Chain A
Amino acid sequence: MGKTTAQIQKNASLECDIAVFSNMDCKLDSGFNLKDFQIAFKTFGNLNANKDNAILICHALTGDQYVSETNPITKKDGWWSRMVGVNKPIDTNKYYVICSNVIGGCAGTTGPKEINFQTNVPYGREFPAVTVRDMVKIQNYLIETLSIEKLFAVVGGSMGAMQALQWTIDYPQKIQNVIHIAGALKHSAQNIAFHEVGRQAIMNDPNWNKGGYNKNNIIPERGLAVARMIAHITYLSDDAMHRKFGRKLQSRDIISFGFDADFQIESYLRHQGRSFVERFDANSYLYLTRAMDYFDLEKKFSTAIEFSPIPNQHIRYLIISFTSDWLFPTSENRKIVKTLNYFTRNVSFTEIETDKGHDSFLLDEPELDSIIKGFLDNNYNKIGSHE
């Protein structure tokens, strides 16, 4: 296949770039042929003359392209602005950082919320199923459009880690380093179970209307909020919740003997649910949780490493897990390390001690910062002069 190019447009309201692909033959894992689509993305820093300083950051389930600076939708800091930016561990003075909204997402990239150009109505449930592999395939189109032959690094946590791992299998020749944080070779039965509860909450909200809610301009906000509340519990740990909330009561001195949010944890979860509804599309949530559920490299990974048709020995891997992460536990991350060590690959691994659970990768973890910075900067210096 030849080089893919797309038209890149600036989008003022989304404060990002949009790559518009038309008349493509993008065959998805489901067999669906995606002809026209667009990718919303943001870049930070400058691509150098050698084009060897590009880092692709893959976002997690409910992330977006606003990895750094201010997110124009929420008016808050980008989801990883503590890690990415000027003088941050992933320093945009040095690196050219690209972050794109995944296919099926809802921050400007083609997904169930967007208009289907063929029918002129939002896709809704007509949107094809997408997989992590599809996400990566479409990111690759974007990288080609930006004329980058080799990414210095692909970095991601959680669903982003899944994408990063997929990159090493599908396009090993295009990546130099990979940082895989709190991921796994597969989405476990327990993880699928939690996602299913979330999806049921959405689909059982009468407003969901079999996915067609966009037509009526009402959204299944109660279902989506409950889905978020459940998921949010899985991102924390028992210890962290206890440390933060304990059994403290919310704006009252005595229990109400009712079902108001007596406890701070209840109030906190309700708030998480409410604010999520404002920024995320319910159908996107269905599609993207499904994509994670379908992720399974457990059997394929070792064969993919050993018998890769494209050389992959040059890749340097950094795998990071967190002690209190029970959603993507250390044992699952270690499986990746074991496979890579079995094939004598350049792999580094560390488990960071924290009580903040799966969400640790987004939070203040100084050890995470220093290890990511050191890994990137030292390996960057190894590849010679940078102009």
Chain B
Amino acid sequence: MNKMQSIRKDWNLIESLISRSAKVLDIGCGEGGLIKQLEENIQANTRGIELSPDLARKAIADGLSVVQGNAEKDLDQYSNQSFDYVILSQTLQAMVKPRDVLLELLRIGGKAIVSFPNFGHWKIRLQLLLTGKTPITEGLPYVWYETPNIHFFTIKDFQALCKQSNIIIEKSIALTSKGRQFEISPGISGANLFTSEAIFLLSYQNFTPIKLQSKQKTFVSNSALVN
């Protein structure tokens, strides 16, 4: 499978996780291919942010609302819960503080969609075991000294981080290097071994307000209690 098909597959999966006409922010949107697809296919109301001036300009010239900016510095300009979905595709591993970025996603959006290359894939483990050198794969194709990917982590690592941060994993989908996809669930063993790329749909626990039951129709005010 070539790189382009792989990206498309990723996009189609992401699209399938998003409801129609949703408000979507794509962080690290590149030329805006994904948000354009979302606008065309599901009438999403989209915005993008992209670090590379050239890519941002291509997206803008394509009629998309994209700002040139840095995912680690410029996310504070978006207000709380201003998007239905915030997407971070294949970028988390390149962040200096991935945890902070992850929390920002769920501050800005009701749901976050995060995809990343799984460092726990068997080929990577085998490469490291047999060669003793930092693995180079399709998903992580750079040599160690010039890679933008500065954090290597596995599906298990990510699941643990979500748990620790009280983030709910609503859905997680695995893509194998052959392009097969399956849902990652506790029932399926070996997901961490066979997944080359994972896509997570995340949200915070929706706290429903506790309803107090009372037979009295009027509540006693604080001041009345003091008296």
Contacts and interface: CB of A to CB of B under 8 A. Distances in A.
Given A347-B67, A348-B65, A348-B66, A341 B77 contact: yes
Interface string A353-387: 10000000000000100110111011101100000
B63 interface: yes
B47 A373 contact: no
A349 B61 contact: no
Given A346-B47, A349-B68, A374-B60, 19 more contacts: A316-B65, A341-B47, A344-B47, A344-B79, A344-B82, A344-B83, A348-B65, A349-B67, A349-B69, A350-B56, A351-B53, A353-B53, A367-B57, A370-B61, A373-B61, A375-B63, A377-B63, A378-B61, A378-B62
22 contacts: A318-B60, A338-B77, A341-B77, A342-B79, A342-B82, A344-B47, A344-B78, A344-B83, A348-B64, A348-B65, A350-B56, A350-B68, A351-B53, A352-B53, A370-B57, A374-B61, A375-B61, A377-B63, A378-B61, A378-B62, A381-B63, A382-B63
B23 interface: yes
Nearest to B56: A350
A337 interface: yes
A378 B63 contact: yes
7 nearest A-B pairs in the assembled complex, by CB-CB distance: A374-B61, A378-B63, A349-B67, A338-B77, A348-B60, A346-B65, A341-B77
Interface of A: 316, 318, 337-338, 341-344, 346-353, 367, 370-371, 373-375, 377-379, 381-382
Contacts of B63: 374-375, 377-379, 381-382
Given A347-B65, A351-B68, A375-B61, A337 B79 contact: no
Contacts, number: 66
A375 B58 CA distance: 10
Nearest to A379: B63
A324 B56 CA distance: 19
Contacts of B59: 348
Contacts of B62: 374, 378
B89 to A, nearest CB: 20
Nearest to B23: A344
B65 A371 contact: no
Q: Which of A316, A349, A378, A381 has the most CB of B within 10 A?
A: A349
Contacts of A353: 53
Contacts of A379: 63
A13 to B, nearest CB: 40
A321 to B, nearest CB: 10
Contacts of B69: 349
Contacts of A373: 61
Nearest to A380: B63
Contacts of A318: 60
A350 B60 contact: yes
Q: Which of B56, B65, B77, B82 has the most CB of A within 10 A?
A: B65
A341 B67 contact: yes
Nearest to A323: B53
A88 B46 CA distance: 29
A352 B53 CA distance: 8
A203 to B, nearest CB: 42
B122 to A, nearest CB: 42
A347 to B, nearest CB: 6
Contact of A337 (B53, B60, B67, B82): B67
B42 to A, nearest CB: 16
Given A374-B62, A375-B60, A348 B67 contact: yes
B77 A337 contact: yes
A107 B175 CA distance: 65
A201 B139 CA distance: 64
A314 B30 CA distance: 24
A83 to B, nearest CB: 15
Contacts of A352: 53
Interface in B61-91: 61-69, 77-79, 82-83
B213 to A, nearest CB: 39
